[in-house]
Amino acid sequence: MKILVTDQSGVEHELEGLDGWRTMEVIRDWGLNIKAECGGACSCATCHVYVEDGWFEKLPEPSDDEEDLLYSTLDKKPNSRLSCQILLSEDLDGMRVTLAPSAAKDSEAA
Amino acid sequence: MSNEIVTDVVIIGAGPVGLFAVFELGLLDIKCHLIDILDRPGGQCAELYPEKPIYDIPGFPMVTGQGLTDNLMQQIAPFGPEFHFSRMVTKLEKQEDGSFRLETDADEVFRCKVVVIAAGGGSFQPKRPPVDGIEEYENKSVFYAVRKMDDFRDQDVVIVGGGDSALDWTLNLQPIVRSLTLVHRRDAFKAAPASVNKMKELVMEGKINFLLGQIGKLEGKDGQIDHVHISMDSGDTPLPATRLLPFFGLTMKLGPVADWGLELNDNLITVDTEKFESSVPGIFAIGDINHYPGKLKLILSGFHEAALMAQAAKAVVSPGERVVFQYTTSSTKLQKKLGVV
Ligand SMILES: Cc1cc2nc3c(=O)[nH]c(=O)nc-3n(C[C@H](O)[C@H](O)[C@H](O)COP(=O)(O)OP(=O)(O)OC[C@H]3O[C@@H](n4cnc5c(N)ncnc54)[C@H](O)[C@@H]3O)c2cc1C
Ligand code: FES
């Protein structure tokens, strides 16, 4: 399966997705600009992505913790999610997401 | 500068690795002062995952982030480390005589022979809430921490958030303020249940207000707010306020470490694997903040690095003194230091 990730500079990358992995892990392991400071513990919001319409609706509802964290980002949009909370499965084959500016590493911040 | 503290070693960062360094240095009779921007020890373990279990600390099949921190504090207690919390080390300079001078944002100066940077993922800094123009009020009427309670006396205070910091300060400030409103997006709190209950009692007694909503725009002038808008289901409500305390959690930024003239590799301090010394002799870097070939960002690795660093630091603190390697199980001398015999 694959996911399509647009980075902060607008370039789209086609990444090999792995069933059962977190979207954040795939994006991080492919070396894109994602900070993911807490390693997927849903406690940092530095893995913030915008999920493209059509895919966004397919995702399970965010938890209250995820909602709280998203609210703490400056660049939240209606289609915001934390990519560490999106578990990949065949249903999400071809999902398109865009990295939010607030997901950038400090050294490469947009 | 008002305070000057002179000591052997200053450790920057009281995360698990900085704490364990106190133990290794203590066995060699070296006394430490630790400085951390957080208001308590534990670094990432205490701040990001206090309740989550860690499974790869040798000898602990399972221990939580807070549990590990508490155990480390107990383990190093015999060495009497001195902690300086809620301040950031902003400056680090080598002096002509080879010693070091550090400055904090709390107007202190430290002088020491050795600096151990155990700054982990960087300094924790408060997250700014998503409110336009909030910068112009920061540190004048909008604060992300309470440094001086008196700044809040007889003020109309609005606290935003649902975690421990928000609840703790609601309870602590309530007796001295003119009015206090706690605002949170939902009616569930991530704080200690006892604090939540106490807060609810105060609401019932009419001593504080609670609003279910989100913080909107700020009104005021010259850095002084006079109204905070809260968007609630019932619409936008302007609330009179002279102080705002948003608690939106913390994020880690490398911060001033980048400006200390040390050789860096992708924002991490380059060290050797014999002493864990940086490019400046006398400045060591251990734990998540350092880089060397094969580095693993694990607590375990940081502990190992602390042990080797301590041996090298001893040679700087007491030049010429012979260090005899001893085990804590069999050395009466070490056991005396630990207060167990
Ligand atoms: C969710 C999560 C789960 C994890 N699980 C594990 C696990 O299972 N096993 C494992 O081994 N590791 C785990 N880790 C990694 C582990 O937490 C780190 O390796 C460890 O905390 C590093 O310790 P440290 O003392 O080097 O740094 P930190 O814990 O980052 O502490 C550094 C401290 O330095 C302070 N500081 C930095 N700069 C300054 C300054 N200029 N002035 C004052 N203070 C400063 C910071 O505020 C901080 O308190 C996990 C991490 C996370 C986020
Ligand atoms: S990686 Fe921290 S919240 Fe997702």
Is there a contact between B180 and B160 (Cβ–Cβ < 8 Å)? no
Residue A7 CB contacts under 8 Å (≥ 6 apart), including other chains: A13, A32, A33, A99
Phi, psi of B28 (to 5 degrees): -100, 20
Angle value at C-alpha B291, between B288 and B294, nearest 5 degrees: 100
Closest CA to B270 of B301, B292, B299, B295: B292
pLDDT score, position B105: 92
How many C-alpha atoms does B62 have within 13 Å on its Cβ side?
Answer: 3
Residue B189 tokens read as 């709190």
CA distance B259 to B248: 27
- Beta carbons of B248 and A72 less than 8 Å apart: yes
pLDDT score, position A110: 43
Among A28, A33, A38, A107, the residue to mutate for chain B (most B Cβ within 10 A): A38
Please report the DSSP string for A20-61 in residue order: TSBHHHHHHHTT-S---TTTTSSSS-TTEEEEPTTTGGGSPP
Side chain identity, residue A53:
D
Question: If you average pLDDT over every residue of chain A, what do you get?
Answer: 92
Side chain identity, residue A14:
E
CA distance B22 to A22: 37
| Residue A109 confidence (pLDDT) above 70 | no
A chain contacts of residue B214, beta-carbon cutoff 8 Å: 71
Q: What is the pLDDT of residues A13-61, one digit of tens each?
A: 999 999 999 999 999 999 999 999 888 888 889 999 999 999 999 999 9
How close, in Å, is residue B124 to chain A by CA atoms?
11
The shortest CB-CB distance from A107 to any of B128, B249, B267 is to: B267
Question: Distance, CA B30 to ligand 1 centroid (Å)?
Answer: 23
Question: Distance, CA B308 to ligand 1 centroid (Å)?
Answer: 19
pLDDT tens-place values along chain B, 341 residues long: 557 999 999 999 999 999 999 999 999 999 999 999 998 999 999 988 888 899 999 999 999 999 999 999 999 999 999 999 999 999 999 999 999 999 999 999 999 999 999 999 888 888 888 898 999 999 999 999 888 899 999 999 999 999 989 999 999 999 999 999 999 998 999 888 999 999 999 999 999 999 999 999 999 999 999 999 999 989 999 999 999 999 988 888 888 999 999 999 988 999 999 999 999 999 999 999 999 999 999 999 999 999 999 999 999 999 988 888 899 999 999 999 999 98
CA-A69 nearest atom, ligand 2: 3
CA distance A92 to B123: 36
Question: Distance, CA A107 to ligand 2 centroid (Å)?
Answer: 18
- Beta carbons of A72 and B267 less than 8 Å apart: no
How close, in Å, is residue B266 to chain A by CA atoms?
8
CA distance B52 to B58: 17
Closest CA to B1 of B94, B109, B92: B109
Closest-approach residue (CA) in chain A for B253: A106
The shortest CB-CB distance from A43 to any of B49, B122, B129 is to: B49
The shortest CB-CB distance from B252 to any of A37, A65, A72 is to: A37
Side chain identity, residue B60:
F
Question: Distance, CA A48 to ligand 2 centroid (Å)?
Answer: 8
| Residue A103 confidence (pLDDT) above 60 | yes
Closest-approach residue (CA) in chain A for B258: A107
**Entry pTM:** 0.85
- Contacting A with CB below 8 Å, chain B residues are 48-49, 52, 121-122, 127-130, 162, 185-186, 188, 190, 214, 248-249, 251-254, 266-267
- The ipTM, to two decimals, is 0.72
- Beta carbons of A41 and B49 less than 8 Å apart: yes
CA-A38 nearest atom, ligand 1: 53
Among B47, B48, B132, the residue to mutate for chain A (most A Cβ within 10 A): B48
Closest-approach residue (CA) in chain A for B184: A68
Is there a contact between B104 and B123 (Cβ–Cβ < 8 Å)? no
Question: Distance, CA A62 to ligand 1 centroid (Å)?
Answer: 27
Question: Distance, CA B102 to ligand 2 centroid (Å)?
Answer: 33
B chain contacts of residue A45, beta-carbon cutoff 8 Å: 249
CA distance A4 to B130: 28
Please report the DSSP string for B290-330 in residue order: EE-TT----HHHHHHHHHHHHHHHHHHHSTTPPPPP--TTT
The shortest CB-CB distance from B185 to any of A46, A71, A107 is to: A71
